[in-house]
Structure formats: C-alpha cells, structure tokens
A and B are shown apart, each in its own frame.
Chain A
Amino acid sequence: MMTSILKASMAGMALAALATAASAGGTLRLDEVAVGGPDPAKAADYSDSSLIFNVYDTLILPRQGGPGHVPHLAESWEGEGTSFTFNLRPDVSFHSGNPLTADDVVFSFERTVGLGQGLSYLFGLVDSVEAIDADTVRFNLAQPNAPFVASLVRLPIVDKKLVMENLGDGEGDMKDWGQAFLSANGAGTGAYIVKSHNPQEETVMLRNDNYFLGVPEKAPDTVRLRYGLEAATVRTLIAQGEHDISSQWLPPEVKKALADDGMQLLTESGTGAFYFKMNTTRAPLDDVHCRMALSNVFDYGSVLKLIAITDTVSGGSPSTGAIPVGMFGANPADEVLVRDIEAAKAHLAACRYDPAEFTVEISWIAEVPLEERLALLMQANLAEIGVNSTIQKVPWALFTEMVSKPENTPNLSQIFVTAVTGDPDTLLYGMYHSTSAGTWQSPEYLNDAEVDSLLDAGRTGASESDRQEAYAALNARLMDLTASIYGFDRQSVFAASPRVSVPALSDPAMAFGLDGMGFAFRLMEIE
C-alpha cells in the first residue's frame, strides 16, 4: 500500500513538472502587493482599480493616446454647468443576464455616496442623479464643476437587481448595501467575470463571452491576479515562464535583472508624482525657511539614479515644480528642480528654529521598500547641513490614521499620489485645499487662502485656458510656500514576459492616461 502511494506520488511529481513546463495557454498571471477589493464603491488603490476596470464598466472611458473621453456604457452625453444627461446603450447586460438600465446608474451613484468610502468624495458636488427613462439618466450638480465628466471613470455601474437580492445584515432600508456580497463577488457588465477570490492567494477571472463590445480572440481566457508575492518569487516565476506581469512595486534592481533576462518593461506614465510632504503645522516646518532649506538640500539627482531601470526606462522623470509635466499648469520639462546646498544653508540660517534643537521625523510606507532608501537619502542630505532626523516605518493602514491629526502627523511623509481621474483637480484639490487637510494625500495641513481660491478657480473654470491659467498661478504659489518637496514625476514600470503584448502600456498612442486602466485585460494579447 505504502509503496504504491509512493510510486504514484513520484509519478505525480514527474507529471507535475511536465504540466508546469507546458504552461497554460491563454492564462494571464499577474500580481499586486495589496489585496484587490472587488467592491466598486470601496476601490481606491491600484490593485482595486485593475480589478474594477475589468469586472465593471463606466459610462465613459478616457480617450486612448490623448486628452478627453469617449462614450462607453453611455452612447452619448450632453450638458454643461450643473446638469448632464447621458443616453445609455440599449444592448448591455450584466453578468447575471439582467439588462443595464438607468436605475442601475442611479443605484450605483447612491451606493457609492451612501457608503462614503473609496473615491466617493469625487462626487461630493453631485446633488442628485435621476432616471429620466430606462435609457436616460441625468446628473444634477450643486455648482459648475469642470472635472465632473472625468470623475465618471470612477463610477462603476453595479447590477442593482442582483445586489438587492443579496443584501446582508445591516441597519436601514439598504441594510449593508450588499457589502458582504460584493466583497467576494462581481456584479458588473465587464469583460471579465470574477470566478473566485481568495484574499491571500489570488482573484481568478474568466473572459465574459457576452461582453457588449466583444472580447478579442487573443485576449486571455483566464486571468489570475495574485497577491502579496515576494519580489524574489515574482522575479523567478517570470524568468521560468510561470508568471506574466509583475507589479509596479518590484524594486528597480529586480526589474533590471528581468530586463537583462530578456523580459519587456511596460510603462504607464505620469499623472502623479512622488512627494516628501511637510507638516506645516508643527515646529520646525511651520517656518517656510526651514521648509525651503529641506527642499533645497534634497538630492534630486541621486533619486533619479536610484529609480532608473535601464538607460531608457525609469520609474520617473525629473520634477519641474508642483504640477507633473503634461498636466495643466506644469512648468516646461527642461526646468528641472536641482539641489542647492548654499541656498539650503541660507534658508536654514533664516529659519527661526536652531537646527541643534530639533529633529525631523521622516516616515516611509512599510509596503513600499523604495521609500526606505529615499528616507536614508534624505537623512544623509539633512546631516550635511547639520539637521538631525529619525526614520519611522509606518504600515499604510496606520499612516492614514496617523495623519488624521496634525500633532500625530510626521514632519516629513513620503507619498506617491496620482490623479485618480487624470484631471489635475483630483491630484491637487485633495492635497492642498484647506478643507481637505488631514488625509493621506494632505499631511501638509496647508491653509492658504490664495491656494484655496486658485484651486476653486481651476475646478469651476469655464474654459481650458481659464483652468490652465489658474493652475499655472497655483504652481507658482505652491513653490513659494514649499509645503512639499517634489521628488520626481512618477511613471509606473512593470516587468513582463514577452508572451504578452499590452499596447496600452507600451504604445503612447494607446495609453489611457489613467492609472490602472492600462490593465484592461481585453486589450491585451497573449500567446
């Protein structure tokens, strides 16, 4: 008995080795550091987004290769000022088979705002959403809001009927708004259907053959989004042909090693930046001269060396100011920020605090190892002008809690921020408007009337040139205030096996200009 099991298992081992060598055709395997949450009302980070963009659809999509938006679930839309009307496509149905109607759009909006999590703050200016008829839906705004249309790429449409059939325990009419159900199931119209979701392993998705736009033949049949793999594991699995696309959080050296092994590097660029955010409410950084000393002493050049992957691909490009290159109000790409130790010393001398008497706390997010090195760089830079510092590692969940009070917020917080809809409003308003202080994006606690009015002007600007003007003025004002150190304009880089082709992440003419959208699996091709 024992020997026969042993024999069988030996045979099994040999078979297993064969099976993995043959590898699954049409299966796309990728990974993310954080667990993706499939609930569309809670989605906020990159892994959530890459799930949501595939399982759900939105009324509109960003235009590939340029600014603006194109129809998607909505055939067309019209409106300006405070009222926008969308005409839905008649031929769309959910994974459950239920047809898409205007009621679903209203429900999706109400659910997002009702739960108040994720990116629901984008819709704060929307007063109400009403279904005019089965295929027409109208959004009523409290005041004119230029980035409103762009924000709709963050309103995934949920299957109302299915969710209402699966409400869990909770108070009120809507009970739990279907949170329990949607934390493990999909209820969308998207090109992929959630098959299983294990928060410690992976989410498995299957191609939706009834997708209203159709899914091309060469797109993957099955997608396995794996969670929390070690960098060394990803590196080896890709090299062995058992993994296809890495997360952007893989350290630059590892991406380089993979590129040297013949893997391709995919990029998704720049609607965001890397910042050292300075807490302007606490000594010593409540003095603008101390802040300017720090921003001048920081070694911008070394950072670029650190994030470079190959001669042509890098995790970012030089920063030119408070607004990333390519957005409204950005400075020209060649006016890069540089280190100036003499200026730093002069500002430090002008600062009302004595460097011998304070210590600067530098925090870094535990999930992003690169930030530890940047913290060490900052610490070494500060030491050159006689400023002492301590380094503090903070897990993400705890960081968002710490910054909710100015007295708990570190002097320097390292943060990557991206414009969640691609519009500069969603990058800057949440960081610098006095009413948004105290979130993970705004540990500066900036409170400046001029900044506030320029942000409002950018938000309500009637024409593109008005907005351009407002944001250019804002950029200059922010540089004067120096509430943040602008480390670099970020670019996400992914290492990928040559068996996948991802035009949205390799061809600028096909890029979406929206973080995570490049992972629309239906637009990928796999051998």
Chain B
Amino acid sequence: MRRSLAIISANPMSLTGVILIALVVVSAALADFIAPFPAHRGAVVDFANFNQPPKWPNIMGTDLVGRDLFSRILYAYRISLILGVVVLALAVPVGIVAGLAAGYIGGRTQFVLMRTTDVFLSIPPLVLAMSIMGVLEPTLANGMMAVTAMWWPWYSRLVFNITLAEKEEGYVLAAELIGASRLHIMFREILPNCLPAIITKMTLDLGFVILIASSLSFLGLGVQPPTPDLGSMVAQGASYLPDSWWLTVFPGLAILVAVFGFNLLGDALRDILGADR
C-alpha cells in the first residue's frame, strides 16, 4: 500500500490524476459549503439576472433562469459520482458472477452466458442504453439501470478470460483435488486473482460511466430538472452558442476534468497492479 502511494506520488501524471479526483470528490461532497449559491441546485429563478456572462459573484455566469452555473456544476458532480458508483456496484458483481461461472463451469453454461454477453456487446453501448431509456421514464434510477445493463458484459468478458487461464493453474487443480466446492474455488481461489484487473478497470470505468451518463442526458434521456446534470447543461446551452458560450463550455470542461482524472489514476494503477490484460 505504502509502496503504491509512493509510486503514485512519484509520477507527475498519476499525481495530477489523484489531485483532480480529490478536487472533484471534495467539491461534490462539500458542495453545500463551497457553492456560493447552494439554493441554486433546485428550482430557483431569478429573471433579473439570467443568461449573464461570468462576472463576480457568478464566476461561471448564470444559466437561462438566473441560477449560478458554478454552484450547479458542483452539485452536478455529486450526482455524477453517485451515479458512477452505483452503476459499478450493480454491474461489477453481475459481470463477475457471469464471467466466473462461464469460465469455470464451461459447457452449456459457458455457451449461454457468453453468447448473451455477446448479444449485449453487439449493440453499441450508447444505443443500448438509449433504447432502454427511450421506453422508461427518464429518472436517475432508470438512468442507472440503463447504464448498468450496458456495463456488466464488459466485466463478464474480462473475468471469463482470466478464469479460463487461471483454472488450469496448479493451485486450482490442487483445490479441486482436496474436494473444495465449486463455489469455494470460484470465489475464494480464482476471484482474488481477477481483482487487480477488475480494480483497474473500475477506476477507468468510473470516468467512462460519467461520460456515458452525460451523453444520455445530453440526448434528453437522463435526470430531469431542476436536478443539475452536466450532460443536459451542455445540451441546453448548445442552442445558445456562440453568444452564451459559458452555458456549454464550463459544464463540458467539468466533464473533461473529472474523466481525465479517473483516466490518469487508472493508467497509474494499471502500471502498479500489473493488470494489463
């Protein structure tokens, strides 16, 4: 652990990643204290002061009903992070179980599970999530479901490939010899060997989940107002280009900063954990 920290802080790129993520997480967590206008996360209107370019005290300008853009971006980070964590918390276990079962049991189980995985992977991810969101009410919970539905197959394929390799290893054969149960072998013997790869992928994916979720809400299929959301801010602001550039540029950059941070850290983790599969 200490060694990992040393490696991370020695590398300027991963250090930048850590700093960026820390900034994003802290500003999301402490939005109530940092945001100059905490009330602006919700339904507040101030038509005396709408669509204003950046100037004090609205350092990123105001939106189309007069709310402080900077405050709303901080709260939008909170929603994005929660969404990312929930999606991975749902998708990763499903993917792990499917991948382990398919890889270790093989035969018909493998055929059914991996072909199902293929079906899900054969629809471009965004298209799949869009089709699901298209038929559901656009709420935060449904958005999470739709993104989860497109995310688990990637983990089942990853775990499946590792399991295939690992199940021929000596330690697995040894466990089989002493009569360990299938469940024990899958979850206690093989799974720990998949973890480095899974953790690396999760770090990278946290960024990508935020990215996909923002794409969904860009298309009008995400959370609904007055909840602040980066993707829908960009979408709404896009109508007012180029005159009201701040409406799109700041939320767009906010997405970039968060995802960039997770990517930097994920890269560093990949080097440290040697999980380059």
Interface positions of A (Cβ within 8 A of B): 230-232, 235-236, 251, 253-254, 257, 302, 305-306, 366, 369, 372-373, 375-377, 379-380, 383, 389, 391-393
| CB pair A305 B47 closer than 8 Å | yes
Determine if B252 is an interface residue (Cβ-Cβ < 8 Å).
no
| CB pair A230 B224 closer than 8 Å | no
- Give the contact stretch, choosing among B6-14, B91-99, B145-153, B235-243: B235-243
Tell me the B68-94 residues at the A interface (CB within 8 Å).
none
CB < 8 Å neighbour of B243 from A254, A302, A369, A379? A254
CB < 8 Å neighbour of A392 from B45, B51, B224, B240? B224
Determine if B158 is an interface residue (Cβ-Cβ < 8 Å).
no
Among B47, B48, B224, chain A packs the most CB atoms within 10 A around the CB of: B47
Assembly CA distance A302 to B45 (angstroms) = 10
* Chain A residue at minimum C-beta to C-beta distance from B238: A232
Tell me the B227-248 residues at the A interface (CB within 8 Å).
236, 238-244
| CB pair A373 B220 closer than 8 Å | no
Assembly CA distance A244 to B244 (angstroms) = 22
Assembly CA distance A134 to B211 (angstroms) = 67
Determine if B44 is an interface residue (Cβ-Cβ < 8 Å).
yes
- Least distance between B131 CB and chain A CB atoms (Å): 15
Determine if B199 is an interface residue (Cβ-Cβ < 8 Å).
no
Known: A254-B239, A369-B236, A376-B65. 11 other contacts (CB 8 A): A230-B239, A231-B240, A232-B238, A302-B45, A373-B64, A376-B225, A379-B43, A380-B44, A383-B43, A391-B225, A393-B138
| CB pair B43 A376 closer than 8 Å | yes
| CB pair A366 B239 closer than 8 Å | no
Q: Give the chain A neighbours of B51 by CB distance below 8 A.
A: 253
CB < 8 Å neighbour of B65 from A235, A257, A377? A377
Pairs across A and B, CB under 8 Å, 26 listed: A230-B239, A231-B239, A232-B240, A232-B241, A232-B242, A251-B64, A251-B240, A253-B51, A253-B240, A254-B239, A305-B47, A305-B48, A306-B47, A366-B220, A372-B225, A373-B45, A373-B65, A376-B43, A376-B225, A377-B47, A377-B65, A379-B43, A379-B226, A391-B225, A393-B220, A393-B225
| CB pair A369 B239 closer than 8 Å | yes
Assembly CA distance A373 to B244 (angstroms) = 16
- Least distance between A177 CB and chain B CB atoms (Å): 31
- Least distance between A247 CB and chain B CB atoms (Å): 12
CB < 8 Å neighbour of A391 from B226, B236, B243? B226
CB < 8 Å neighbour of A380 from B43, B64, B138, B224? B43
Assembly CA distance A393 to B235 (angstroms) = 14
- Interface of chain B, main secondary structure: loop
| Size class of the B contact interface (CB-based, 8 Å) | 20 to 34
- Least distance between B183 CB and chain A CB atoms (Å): 45
Assembly CA distance A100 to B251 (angstroms) = 59
Q: Give the chain B neighbours of A372 by CB distance below 8 A.
A: 225, 236
Q: Give the chain A neighbours of B64 by CB distance below 8 A.
A: 251, 253, 373
| CB pair A232 B225 closer than 8 Å | no
Q: Give the chain B neighbours of A369 by CB distance below 8 A.
A: 236, 239
Assembly CA distance A18 to B224 (angstroms) = 45
| CB pair B236 A253 closer than 8 Å | no
- Least distance between A316 CB and chain B CB atoms (Å): 15
- Least distance between B217 CB and chain A CB atoms (Å): 11
The 4 tightest CB contacts between A and B, nearest first, are: A379-B43, A231-B239, A232-B241, A380-B45
Assembly CA distance A231 to B235 (angstroms) = 11
- Least distance between A340 CB and chain B CB atoms (Å): 19
Q: Give the chain A neighbours of B44 by CB distance below 8 A.
A: 380
- Least distance between A370 CB and chain B CB atoms (Å): 9
* Chain A residue at minimum C-beta to C-beta distance from B227: A391
Assembly CA distance A421 to B241 (angstroms) = 36
Query: Contact flags (1/0) for B98-132 with A, using CB distance below 8 Å?
Result: 00000000000000000000000000000000000
CB < 8 Å neighbour of A251 from B220, B239, B242? B239
Q: Give the chain A neighbours of B242 by CB distance below 8 A.
A: 232, 236
Assembly CA distance A292 to B48 (angstroms) = 26
CB < 8 Å neighbour of B239 from A232, A306, A391, A393? A232
Assembly CA distance A80 to B138 (angstroms) = 53
Q: Give the chain A neighbours of B243 by CB distance below 8 A.
A: 235, 253-254, 257
Q: Give the chain A neighbours of B236 by CB distance below 8 A.
A: 369, 372
CB < 8 Å neighbour of A253 from B45, B220, B238, B244? B244
Query: Contact flags (1/0) for B42-60 with A, using CB distance below 8 Å?
Result: 0111011011000000000
Q: Give the chain B neighbours of A380 by CB distance below 8 A.
A: 43-45
Q: Give the chain B neighbours of A366 by CB distance below 8 A.
A: 220
- Least distance between A47 CB and chain B CB atoms (Å): 18
Q: Give the chain A neighbours of B43 by CB distance below 8 A.
A: 376, 379-380, 383, 389, 391
Q: Give the chain B neighbours of A389 by CB distance below 8 A.
A: 43
Q: Give the chain A neighbours of B238 by CB distance below 8 A.
A: 230, 232
Q: Give the chain B neighbours of A306 by CB distance below 8 A.
A: 47, 50
- Least distance between B234 CB and chain A CB atoms (Å): 12
* Chain B residue at minimum C-beta to C-beta distance from A256: B243
Assembly CA distance A291 to B224 (angstroms) = 25
- Least distance between A294 CB and chain B CB atoms (Å): 15
* Chain A residue at minimum C-beta to C-beta distance from B48: A305
Q: Give the chain B neighbours of A253 by CB distance below 8 A.
A: 51, 64, 240, 243-244
Assembly CA distance A464 to B238 (angstroms) = 49
- Least distance between A369 CB and chain B CB atoms (Å): 6
Assembly CA distance A53 to B45 (angstroms) = 40
* Chain B residue at minimum C-beta to C-beta distance from A383: B43
* Chain B residue at minimum C-beta to C-beta distance from A381: B45
Assembly CA distance A253 to B242 (angstroms) = 12
* Chain B residue at minimum C-beta to C-beta distance from A364: B225
Assembly CA distance A233 to B238 (angstroms) = 10
- Least distance between B215 CB and chain A CB atoms (Å): 17
Assembly CA distance A391 to B220 (angstroms) = 14
Among B50, B65, B244, chain A packs the most CB atoms within 10 A around the CB of: B65
- Least distance between A31 CB and chain B CB atoms (Å): 13
| CB pair B45 A376 closer than 8 Å | yes
Q: Give the chain A neighbours of B65 by CB distance below 8 A.
A: 373, 376-377
Assembly CA distance A97 to B96 (angstroms) = 71
Assembly CA distance A305 to B43 (angstroms) = 18
Among A231, A375, A380, chain B packs the most CB atoms within 10 A around the CB of: A380
Tell me the B136-162 residues at the A interface (CB within 8 Å).
138
Q: Give the chain A neighbours of B50 by CB distance below 8 A.
A: 306
| CB pair B45 A377 closer than 8 Å | yes
CB < 8 Å neighbour of A375 from B48, B138, B225, B239? B225
- Least distance between B241 CB and chain A CB atoms (Å): 4
- Least distance between B136 CB and chain A CB atoms (Å): 12
Assembly CA distance A366 to B232 (angstroms) = 13
Assembly CA distance A236 to B240 (angstroms) = 11
Assembly CA distance A256 to B239 (angstroms) = 13
* Chain B residue at minimum C-beta to C-beta distance from A231: B239
Among B44, B48, B236, B241, chain A packs the most CB atoms within 10 A around the CB of: B241
Q: Give the chain B neighbours of A373 by CB distance below 8 A.
A: 45, 64-65
Q: Give the chain A neighbours of B138 by CB distance below 8 A.
A: 393
* Chain A residue at minimum C-beta to C-beta distance from B43: A379
Q: A373-B65, A376-B43, A391-B226 are in contact. Are A254 and B220 (CB under 8 A)?
A: no
Assembly CA distance A222 to B224 (angstroms) = 42
